[in-house]
Structure 1
Amino acid sequence: MSTDYQQSREALGVRLRELRLSAPDGRLTGSALARRLGWPQPKVSKLENGKQTATPEDLRVWAEGTGQPEAYDELLARLRGFESHIRSWRRQLASGHKPVQDTHLAEHMSTTVFRGWESSMIMGIFQTPEYARHIFTRYTELQQSPRDTEEAVRSRIKRQEALYDPTKRFHIIMWEAALRALVCPPSVLGAQLDRLSGVVGLDTVELGIIPFSASLKIPPATAFWVYDDSRVIVETWHSELWIEDEPSVKTYLRTWNTLRESAVYGRDAQRVISAARRELNMT
């Protein structure tokens, strides 16, 4: 969990404690408030100490239970402010790319259903070591971060072990542009496309490609990843957004499903990959 996120959760806990201690009908103990709300006492303690994330309903009953219902809007605004939290690249990459890759590796290990959309490069979980090496090198130069390319590559490749875990499912969509972007030498991209063809038949993977010729309901914009339909990670140039509030997650799921309508699968996806591979040989 990010430091920014945890600090915000702890700050919300401090505010909840203030409301409990300043109740109009007299200062409430944690046990007294728990009884009033019908909660187990540890829940009050966890919320006040930033050990548990409050729900909007938790905040509503807390405000009412402490006799200060007018505080609900303020509490909800605080919650919304950190449910979608920003992890700046400057802070994340202070020690290089490997710590970031290790974080994503942990997310993949704990996730059963993974949905992803990528419009500009091959999805990380499918990358060959050489392709990943070029990606990390380019981003290291862009972000002016410490160079730990080989360690980052090893962490990213280790993530691919999940592809062979029968308990997991990967539903991935990529735009055809991702197959053709020369972010590496043509020979490296060619090997990467061969690798991509090989994952189409995996029983844990559903790979869809949106061809350039497909009719689109929405523009093929920013890449994002959805973990167990409950958390979304979106990359921007300056940060990662970790999104957990239910309405926003549902928006990304609708976006993913809308993009999926334009994708082709199986043999049709193989044909798009093969066409990109053949054209690469002609350049």
Structure 2
Amino acid sequence: MSTDYQQARTALGGRMRELRITCPDGKLTGPQLAGRLGWTHSKVYKLEGGKQTATHQDLRAWADATGHAGTYNELASRLAGFESHIRSWRRALADGFKPAQTSLTAQIDQSRDMWIWEEAVIPGLVQTADYARHVMMRYAQLLSPARDIEDAVRGRIERQKWLYQPGRKLYVLVWEAALRSLICPPSVLAAQLDRLTGIIGMDTIELGVVPFTASMKIVPANGFWIMDDRLVVAEDWHAELWLDDADNIALYMKAWNTLRESAVYGSDAHNVINAARRNLSSR
């Protein structure tokens, strides 16, 4: 968890404690407030200490129970401010995959240029429907029950219209591991690799592949997307980070350009993809 995120969560907790001790009908102790809310008193202290992230429902209940109902909008604004930068996967997927994708699609629609690095999976903007389905199923097994995967698959494929709009450009880099990772049946991966070879040469896509044999100037770590010069979306196991400050955007752009130095393009990329495809045929 980032320092900025933790500082913001701690500040929110401090504000919540302030509301508790300035209750209009007298200062409340933590156990007294917990009793009003029907919570354990440990939850009250975790929220105030910045050790647990409040939900919007928690904030509404807190504001009402402390007699400061009018502060809910302030509290919710504070929460939105730091949740927009780090989205816990468990929380983001609580209502299913489709809603979690909607906000990302809105950001993609606003973008004219995107730079993508993926080290272990084919990027969503060039996935086949079958491949996308299996990727989501894997995440669902780890993080959240699979409730609306088919809706999410349709949404992901619909998002690919971006690639065919004038004035758009996708610069995508994938590590060879993404071409060989069997997160789906071999037949599904074979069709996905065929899809990749089909996009080589499109004027809206520049596809680079980093072979296993390439000399690397940087560790090929987790995937990230850069949208114009305004937003980076980076993924980890626990969360998705949305970074909109200039320093971080510049850092990720530097990382992308460093990775690009190890990539091959055109017929050379085609050869790496075909080698992975032939490997599947021999299974």
The alignment's TM-score, normalised by the length of structure 1, stands at 0.70
CA-CA distance at 1:229 after TM superposition? 2.2
What one-letter code is carried by the residue in structure 1 that aligns with 2:136? F
Superposed, 1:62-73 pairs within 5 Å as: none
CA-CA distance at 1:145 after TM superposition? 3.3
Using the alignment, how far apart are the partners of 1:147 and 1:141 within structure 2?
11
Superposed, 1:82-97 pairs within 5 Å as: 82=82, 85-97=85-97
What one-letter code is carried by the residue in structure 2 that aligns with 1:86? I
* 1:219 aligns to 2:226 (yes or no): no
Structure 1 equivalent of residue 232 of structure 2: 232
Structure 2 equivalent of residue 201 of structure 1: 201
Task: For structure 1, list consecutive stretches of 5 or more residues without a partner in the other structure.
Answer: 16-77
Structure 1 equivalent of residue 128 of structure 2: 128
Q: Could you tell me whether the CA contact under 8 Å between 1:208 and 1:265 is conserved in 2? A: yes
* CA offsets 1:107-131 (integer angstroms, 9 cap, x no match): 1111000000000011111110001
Using the alignment, how far apart are the partners of 1:137 and 1:157 within structure 2?
16
Using the alignment, how far apart are the partners of 2:197 and 2:146 within structure 1?
33
Structure 1 equivalent of residue 141 of structure 2: 141
- Between the two proteins, the alignment pairs up a number of residues equal to 210
Using the alignment, how far apart are the partners of 1:165 and 1:220 within structure 2?
30
Aligned to 1:95, the other structure's residue is in SS state coil
Structure 2 equivalent of residue 246 of structure 1: 246
Task: For structure 2, list consecutive stretches of 5 or more residues without a partner in the other structure.
Answer: 16-77
Structure 1 equivalent of residue 66 of structure 2: none
The alignment's TM-score, normalised by the length of structure 2, stands at 0.70
Superposed, 1:36-47 pairs within 5 Å as: none
CA-CA distance at 1:248 after TM superposition? 1.1
* 1:156 aligns to 2:165 (yes or no): no
* CA offsets 1:26-64 (integer angstroms, 9 cap, x no match): xxxxxxxxxxxxxxxxxxxxxxxxxxxxxxxxxxxxxxx
CA-CA distance at 1:82 after TM superposition? 4.2
Structure 2 equivalent of residue 257 of structure 1: 257
Structure 1 equivalent of residue 182 of structure 2: 182
Structure 1 equivalent of residue 35 of structure 2: none
Q: Percent identity?
A: 56
Structure 1 equivalent of residue 281 of structure 2: 281
Q: Could you tell me whether the CA contact under 8 Å between 1:89 and 1:143 is conserved in 2? A: yes
Aligned to 2:87, the other structure's residue is in SS state strand
Q: Could you tell me whether the CA contact under 8 Å between 1:120 and 1:181 is conserved in 2? A: yes
Q: Could you tell me whether the CA contact under 8 Å between 2:97 and 2:148 is conserved in 1? A: yes
Q: Could you tell me whether the CA contact under 8 Å between 1:117 and 1:256 is conserved in 2? A: yes
CA-CA distance at 1:84 after TM superposition? 7.7
Structure 1 equivalent of residue 171 of structure 2: 171
CA-CA distance at 1:146 after TM superposition? 4.6
Q: Could you tell me whether the CA contact under 8 Å between 1:84 and 1:245 is conserved in 2? A: no
Aligned to 1:208, the other structure's residue is in SS state strand
Using the alignment, how far apart are the partners of 2:149 and 2:179 within structure 1?
23
Structure 2 equivalent of residue 43 of structure 1: none
Using the alignment, how far apart are the partners of 2:146 and 2:182 within structure 1?
24
CA-CA distance at 1:201 after TM superposition? 1.6
Using the alignment, how far apart are the partners of 2:149 and 2:182 within structure 1?
19
